[in-house]
Structure 1
Amino acid sequence: MNTLFSNKILTDFIAISTWQSLVVIGIFLFLQIGFWIFLKKIKIQFIYRVLSGMLLGLLFGIIVQVAIGFPDSSDLYEKIDGKVTTIFKEEYKWLEESLIWLSLFKNIFIAGVMMMCIPIVFLAVLRITSKVGVRGLKKITIKGVALLLANVAIAFILTFWLGYLFKVGDGLTLENNGEIATEGMKPIPQLISDYIPKNIVSALSGTLIIPIMVIAALMGMSIRILSKRNGPQMDKLRAGTEVAWKISTSMMMNFMKILPIAVMAMLATAIVGKPIGALASIGKVIGIGYLALAICVLILTLQIAASGINVKQWWKQAWTPFVQAFATQSALATLPTTLTSVGEGMKVNEKAVNTIGSMSTTLGLMACAGVQAGITTSLLWTANSDGDVVHSMGLLPFFLIALIVTMVASLGIAGTPGTATVVTVGVLGGMGFGGFIAPVLGIIQPLDGIFDMGRTGVNVLGANAVIPIVAKSEGLIEDGSPLLTKRLIAKQKEIRVNNEFKYLMEDEIAIELNKKNKAIVNKEISKDEKQKIKLDYKQFVEDKKMDFLKVKQESKETYKNELINIKK
């Protein structure tokens, strides 16, 4: 190796020990500094800044790949016991050093955003759940989870049959090594119980979102309950939460400023250190995967159109988080942008934004669960021949079992670090084909970084679609939203009025029911009095139902009057 100096400081500390790494690092840092100065002087929209950074990173990565001849895995990495590792060969150590420096701003950005994501999610949920009179979160959550999971199922079905149709595994060899999957899949009861944090401090210092949401929701509900007896103190807590929210979002925006140069680094590192030559052998797998992702984007767009939302205006707001997710390969790192785009850009009420947006980074990921599992299982089926252990169960049973296992897996294992590995292990292991995990990963993993860009983009786009769709069904798209016409905005008001009265009615009925139940068990009250209490309660419920019908009629008339005014 052509080292500048034979010195541990250069190789291990400075990480520049060859002229090749010095040239690559020097040129790249020069480009980044120049790009940053350019952005300071030229005023362009933020999304175009990000796209410019992506383009520069892409071009730089391609140039380096051209220089090294588009190597495949066997050219780039060492072999140990006949198996290709991820350890660079001696002649490519300069490439490893280059990647360390090229990743600098990428790592700074990711670390900063990840640092702020947990407090932002915590505060977002706490702000909503601690407010007195806030209702409907359960309904929003159920609808959000249902739609997220439905999209996972759609993505899996689509990808599996695309892989089957185009014979994605044709020409590839998958040998059953007899190993059994020992991780990646958990029983449903354990999966649910794992969402309950056993230690608040460790949960807050981790990266899993749902346990954070659980803690914040419990704290918020406690603040709301205590507000009845300790109103002033709880008001101060809520005010403090608002201040903390503003500080956290401001800190996040500071990190967002370096996103253009961060995505430049992300695209460059995604290409520079990858065995791009492997495309020749597994290009069909990546190609079908991206075809499925493109169709998923179309499906999400059609869902938006079918729900009555303005597609053009939706894309205008969803485009930024979609591109950021593609570049960063992290739904969690893109979460603040998603919350801002949907909340402020689309003007969706924070109840829907904070609830569905937060859980969408872990649960029901359309691409990381649906598309990934679809490509994995179709690869397994088409790469094996008739009569083997895979085909012994028949195509339809194989497909149905794979779909069920994928749906269960999408509840938690997707969105964790090493998604491709975890989803593949979970789904194949859950189906009983643990012996094929290693060979399947051997095909998918070499270029998983490139595939993961598209997967993450679709995951985030899915959240950006589900939130406004659910919000519209609950009347939570606010005045001035570009997503809806004036007529539909008026309809949102009608839904909102009806829901608010319904929640109030349910609260009042619950209070009366509690009074009735206490009276019934009171031994000092006679049977006749108890009977009267029951009848009074029944009449109270009937009266409330009648009141609700009146409110619905009044809100309907108000809606009609607004339509008349709109037409004028």
Structure 2
Amino acid sequence: MTSTASTNKVSKLPRWASSFGVQIIAGLLAGLILGLIARQLGGDPKTDPNGLVTTLSTVGNSYVSILKAAVVPLIFTAVVSSIANLREVTNAARLAWNTLLWFAITSLIAVTIGIALGVLFQPGAGTGTATPKEYTGKSGDWWAFLIGLFPSNFLGLSASTKAAESGALTTSVSFNVLQILVIAIVVGIAALKVGKAADPFLKLNGSALAVIQKVLWWIIRLAPIGTVGLIGTAVATYGWTTIGSLGKFTLAIYVGLALVLFVVYPVLIKTHGLSIKQYFSGVWPAVQLAFVSRSSIGTLPLTQRVTERNLGVPRAYASFAVPLGATTKMDGCAAIYPAIAAVFVAQFFGIQLDLGQYLLIVLVSVLGSAATAGTTGAVVMLTLTLSTLGLPLAGVGLLLAVDPILDMGRTAVNVAGQALVPTIVSKRQGILNEELYNAPRNGNPFADDSDDLLADLNAANSADDVDPKRQAANA
């Protein structure tokens, strides 16, 4: 018996070593070291990569591909289920309206900071680059964006065929996340209107969502491995030289992201009488994953989990607000980044922006953030902003060199905001479980990892959602 006990004691990992956050940090450090080693091995990372670069790229791209594979079923089932769950929430219409309002408020603050930093840092000034001859100064057409909302098929899929250098034709299938979002919203609202006749469909949809989230949770547990590949590839491919060539722009972006994440969000948390420390310790696992995966949709299951289990947002409301936020709430990609980027492009090509164009940046950022739709990268939002302002689209290609590195910080801020707004709205409506919000983390990604406590918390959250007396007690 002594031998057995001794064996079990030796084989058991320390609690800190099994922490998800520690594993992510270890992956970051390993990726950084391997990326630097890969750069020293020689070869062009883009045209003639060495073996280590190829390995890191394969690991990172495979992980992102796995995350993307679940995007379509996750968005559809999550949004339909979230709308259906509004039946169980007291004052559902008020919650939905307040959620959208706070999405807009935080986006407005973020884009204002972005414009101010662009004017202050002058990241594109002094280049002496001539304005492109094809530049007309005319603003783009919003109709193309609006028409793009309407799907041509139920799944929002599109196919394109290209000829390879060998002459062979290759067909690739892609999906429009924004169209899938529209489809899911329509189906969810229809299910609400149908009533009891839709119960079998909603039950099937809920079961499918549970299965998909379980699979995604397994994928998320592989994030430390994916982190090694993603960070290693970024360092090996872009290094510090490329960042330095656009140093002022990169610095302005990260200063803006830091101001929103570490100043604006804490102020909002504090003004609502909540602990800043508890918010950051609660949301940090999702922020870490967002930083390395560069995908709000890929991080969605973890974001929803920390919002419910760490921040105390009722499950029925969180399952509505978090998926909606993952597709439309983009303070990093759709507010700070396009604002600074638009100012940068204008300065780079020697174009003076007037007050009306600055106001257009604000309008596009607040109303057009759904264009990013939670996918990796913010090129769509940048293109929309530049075309609306009538700025040269050549600026898009100019900024792509450092986009992967910028996108890490942007997505981290996106996810932090997607958890913040439901927390604020829940607090204002008196349905936030503050006991759970203030629960000790003890270095764990969640308040407690035990299955028994999770079941108790789920039951408590469900009761809070439907019982006005418990809501009043929590208030």
TM-score past 0.5 threshold: yes
The 5-angstrom pairing of residues 190-269 of structure 1 reads 191-192=145-146, 194-202=148-156, 207-228=175-196, 230=197, 234-269=198-233
Q: Which residue identity lines up with residue 111 of structure 2 in the other structure?
A: F
Q: Aligned pair in 2 of structure 1 residues 180, 150: CA closer, same or farther (>3 Å)?
A: farther
- Does the CA-based 8 Å contact 2:360-2:388 persist in structure 1? no
Residues 1:291 and 2:245 aligned together: no
- 1:329 counterpart residue number: 294
The 5-angstrom pairing of residues 547-558 of structure 1 reads none
User: What's the offset of the Cα at 1:226?
Assistant: 4.3
- Does the CA-based 8 Å contact 2:294-2:377 persist in structure 1? no
- 1:145 counterpart residue number: 100
Q: Which residue identity lines up with residue 51 of structure 1 in the other structure?
A: I
User: What's the offset of the Cα at 1:117?
Assistant: 3.4
User: What's the offset of the Cα at 1:454?
Assistant: 0.7
Q: Which residue identity lines up with residue 245 of structure 1 in the other structure?
A: L
The runs of 5 or more residues in structure 1 that have no matched partner are: 1-38, 78-86, 486-492, 502-553, 564-568
SS at match of 1:177: coil
- 2:382 counterpart residue number: 424
TM-score, scaled to structure 2: 0.77
- Structure 2: how far apart are the matches of 1:135 and 1:209? 30
Q: Aligned pair in 2 of structure 1 residues 181, 469: CA closer, same or farther (>3 Å)?
A: farther
- Structure 2: how far apart are the matches of 1:448 and 1:209? 20
Greater mean deviation of Cα atoms: 107-116 or 290-299? 107-116
User: What's the offset of the Cα at 1:202?
Assistant: 3.6
The runs of 5 or more residues in structure 2 that have no matched partner are: 1-10, 159-172, 441-460
Residues 1:124 and 2:60 aligned together: no
- Does the CA-based 8 Å contact 2:311-2:436 persist in structure 1? yes
- Does the CA-based 8 Å contact 1:169-1:379 persist in structure 2? yes
- 2:166 counterpart residue number: none
Once the two structures are superposed, residues 13-33 of structure 1 have per-residue CA deviations (whole angstroms, 9 ceiling, x without a partner) of: xxxxxxxxxxxxxxxxxxxxx
User: What's the offset of the Cα at 1:444?
Assistant: 2.2
- 2:277 counterpart residue number: 312
Q: Aligned pair in 2 of structure 1 residues 196, 353: CA closer, same or farther (>3 Å)?
A: farther
- Does the CA-based 8 Å contact 2:70-2:216 persist in structure 1? yes
- Does the CA-based 8 Å contact 1:414-1:423 persist in structure 2? no
- Structure 2: how far apart are the matches of 1:185 and 1:417? 24
SS at match of 2:437: coil
- Structure 2: how far apart are the matches of 1:123 and 1:279? 39
Q: Aligned pair in 2 of structure 1 residues 235, 367: CA closer, same or farther (>3 Å)?
A: closer
- Structure 2: how far apart are the matches of 1:374 and 1:399? 9
- 1:272 counterpart residue number: 236
Q: Aligned pair in 2 of structure 1 residues 444, 51: CA closer, same or farther (>3 Å)?
A: same
1:174 is aligned, of 129, 133, 139, to: 129
1:45 is aligned, of 3, 8, 19, to: 19
Percent of aligned positions that are identical: 21
1:377 is aligned, of 342, 346, 365, to: 342
User: What's the offset of the Cα at 1:225?
Assistant: 4.5
SS at match of 1:333: helix
2:307 is aligned, of 342, 354, 357, to: 342
- Does the CA-based 8 Å contact 1:413-1:426 persist in structure 2? no
User: What's the offset of the Cα at 1:378?
Assistant: 2.6
Once the two structures are superposed, residues 195-223 of structure 1 have per-residue CA deviations (whole angstroms, 9 ceiling, x without a partner) of: 44342234599654454444444444444
SS at match of 2:436: coil
User: What's the offset of the Cα at 1:248?
Assistant: 1.9
- 2:68 counterpart residue number: 114
- 1:402 counterpart residue number: 361
- Does the CA-based 8 Å contact 1:368-1:414 persist in structure 2? no
Q: Which residue identity lines up with residue 166 of structure 1 in the other structure?
A: F
Q: Aligned pair in 2 of structure 1 residues 186, 353: CA closer, same or farther (>3 Å)?
A: farther
User: What's the offset of the Cα at 1:154?
Assistant: 1.9
Once the two structures are superposed, residues 120-147 of structure 1 have per-residue CA deviations (whole angstroms, 9 ceiling, x without a partner) of: 3333333343455556444333322332
Q: Which residue identity lines up with residue 95 of structure 2 in the other structure?
A: I
1:63 is aligned, of 37, 58, 62, to: 37
The 5-angstrom pairing of residues 403-552 of structure 1 reads 403-413=362-372, 415-416=374-375, 418-419=377-378, 421-434=379-392, 437-438=393-394, 440-478=395-433, 480-483=435-438
Once the two structures are superposed, residues 450-472 of structure 1 have per-residue CA deviations (whole angstroms, 9 ceiling, x without a partner) of: 11111111111111111211222
Q: Aligned pair in 2 of structure 1 residues 483, 138: CA closer, same or farther (>3 Å)?
A: farther
Greater mean deviation of Cα atoms: 114-123 or 53-62? 114-123
SS at match of 2:134: coil
Q: Which residue identity lines up with residue 201 of structure 1 in the other structure?
A: L
TM-score, scaled to structure 1: 0.66
Once the two structures are superposed, residues 159-212 of structure 1 have per-residue CA deviations (whole angstroms, 9 ceiling, x without a partner) of: 222232232223324322133599x96526x64564443422345996544544
Q: Which residue identity lines up with residue 261 of structure 1 in the other structure?
A: I
- 1:368 counterpart residue number: 333
User: What's the offset of the Cα at 1:275?
Assistant: 5.4
- Does the CA-based 8 Å contact 2:140-2:389 persist in structure 1? no
Once the two structures are superposed, residues 267-291 of structure 1 have per-residue CA deviations (whole angstroms, 9 ceiling, x without a partner) of: 0011111253233332121112111
- 2:268 counterpart residue number: 303
SS at match of 2:328: coil
Q: Aligned pair in 2 of structure 1 residues 174, 154: CA closer, same or farther (>3 Å)?
A: farther
1:102 is aligned, of 50, 56, 59, to: 56
Q: Which residue identity lines up with residue 116 of structure 2 in the other structure?
A: W
Question: Larger Cα Rg: Structure 1 or Structure 2?
Answer: 1
- Structure 1: how far apart are the matches of 2:470 and 2:56? 59
User: What's the offset of the Cα at 1:364?
Assistant: 3.8
Q: Aligned pair in 2 of structure 1 residues 169, 483: CA closer, same or farther (>3 Å)?
A: same
- Does the CA-based 8 Å contact 1:149-1:410 persist in structure 2? no
- Structure 2: how far apart are the matches of 1:309 and 1:219? 36
SS at match of 2:155: helix
User: What's the offset of the Cα at 1:373?
Assistant: 1.6
User: What's the offset of the Cα at 1:351?
Assistant: 3.4
Q: Aligned pair in 2 of structure 1 residues 221, 364: CA closer, same or farther (>3 Å)?
A: closer
- Does the CA-based 8 Å contact 1:185-1:409 persist in structure 2? no
Greater mean deviation of Cα atoms: 201-210 or 42-51? 201-210
SS at match of 1:201: coil
Q: Aligned pair in 2 of structure 1 residues 227, 291: CA closer, same or farther (>3 Å)?
A: closer
Q: Which residue identity lines up with residue 295 of structure 2 in the other structure?
A: S
- Structure 1: how far apart are the matches of 2:407 and 2:359? 25
RCO comparison, higher one (Cα < 8 Å, 6+): 2
Q: Which residue identity lines up with residue 473 of structure 1 in the other structure?
A: R
Residues 1:54 and 2:8 aligned together: no
- Structure 1: how far apart are the matches of 2:374 and 2:120? 28
- Structure 1: how far apart are the matches of 2:326 and 2:88? 27
SS at match of 1:433: coil
- Does the CA-based 8 Å contact 2:295-2:375 persist in structure 1? no
